[in-house]
Amino acid sequence: MTATAQTASAVPSTVPALEVKDLVVRYGRGRRARKDVPAVDGVSFDIAPGETLGVVGESGSGKSTIGKAVLGLQAPSAGTVKLNGQDITSLSLKQRSRVVADLRVVFQDPYSSLNPSRTIGQTLVEPLRLMGIRGADALGRARAGLESVGLPGDAVDRYPSQFSGGQRQRVAIARALVCEPKVVVLDEPVSALDLSTQAQVLNLLADLRDQRGLAFLFIAHDLGVVRFLAQRTVVLYRGQVMETGPVDAVSSAPRHPYTVALTAAAPVPRPAEQAARRQAREAAGFGVAGAAQPSATGCPFVPRCPLSTDLCADQRPPLRLVDANLAACHHAERVPAL
């Protein structure tokens, strides 16, 4: 049973707002690209309206590449991307302009994602112009967009340098939502913010999602942050799905060794608990990232996994249902509890 099939059975009457199936992304061209390990290797998931799917993994896991493929910034090598049931995988940039209003993005860095030479109003009006909305109507929607994220409407006349990092990210959220999209890609939207501002922005995103029925693809490296906002999560390692399922189940009772290692490595505010986690991780025998090259045919986590066997090195494990989660592990039943 695949992650897509599990979701479809849970919400049979709803067309997914976003559906990604068997996505493969290879960088480079020609024979070398075909030989290299794909940045994304056969990833499938879907997101219902009003739902947040968290995509989590270490640096280099392929999570941002998935976001780029969804947004049309990176051409997929194989697989499909559907937006509200429409296949947008191979649409040109000109063709994508017709659906741009339904698919928007909030980037990681609020400082570099806004043009410092343009007023906030000019920034928010720009995507509306592509929809044919201009003049007073566009400015009115820009003011309303700012107010919806907790900023004053008269901020349209200010410049990005007049705002804090958290306020700039609110502006970026307003820019994404001013077109009234159905799907928003959130690429590490709070990782550049301090902890208190992170909480405020995450609460804002949750409120906006619930009020508008938005579908969020939430990309992050911290499973704790994903747990705050998402209903389901996909755990990636070297471009492959290691585990997926309800975020609470994946966080509290992971069935893949990599998810255990990722959870144990997540920072916690209590030093004693952090030390205990580190000792437990070391005692379990998890290797460090980049310690060895993964198997070309089997599970990519083999060089770091204390449970690995010859079977793991020879055969890529399929996603299979183990308790409440889908895990790509031959020995999922032996995975130790956190």
**Residue-wise pLDDT tens digits, 291-333:** 556 667 899 999 889 899 999 999 999 999 999 999 999 999 9
Position 175 scores a pLDDT of 95
The answer to whether 237 touches 328, Cβ cutoff 8 Å, is no
Q: What is the mean pLDDT of residues 3-31?
A: 71
CATH fold, domain 3-252, is Rossmann fold (3.40.50)
Distance, CA of 120 to CA of 25 (rounded, Å): 35
Mean per-residue pLDDT over the chain, rounded = 87
pTM of the model: 0.89
Q: What is the mean pLDDT of residues 168-174?
A: 96
The answer to whether 294 touches 312, Cβ cutoff 8 Å, is no
Q: Among candidates 206, 225, 144, 217, which has minimal Cα distance to 178?
A: 144
Position 289 scores a pLDDT of 59
Q: Is the pLDDT of residue 136 over 50?
A: yes
Position 101 scores a pLDDT of 82
Distance, CA of 242 to CA of 238 (rounded, Å): 9
Least confident of 91-100, 163-172, 189-198, 212-221: 91-100
Position 287 scores a pLDDT of 62
Q: What is the mean pLDDT of residues 116-142?
A: 92
CA angle at 83 for the pair 80 and 86, rounded to the nearest 5°:
75
What ranges do the domains of the chain cover? 3-252, 254-338
Q: Is the pLDDT of residue 7 over 50?
A: no
Within 10 angstroms of residue 77's Cβ, the number of other Cβ atoms is 17
Least confident of 89-93, 137-141, 192-196, 213-217: 89-93
pLDDT band at 32 (very low <50, low <70, confident <90, very high): low
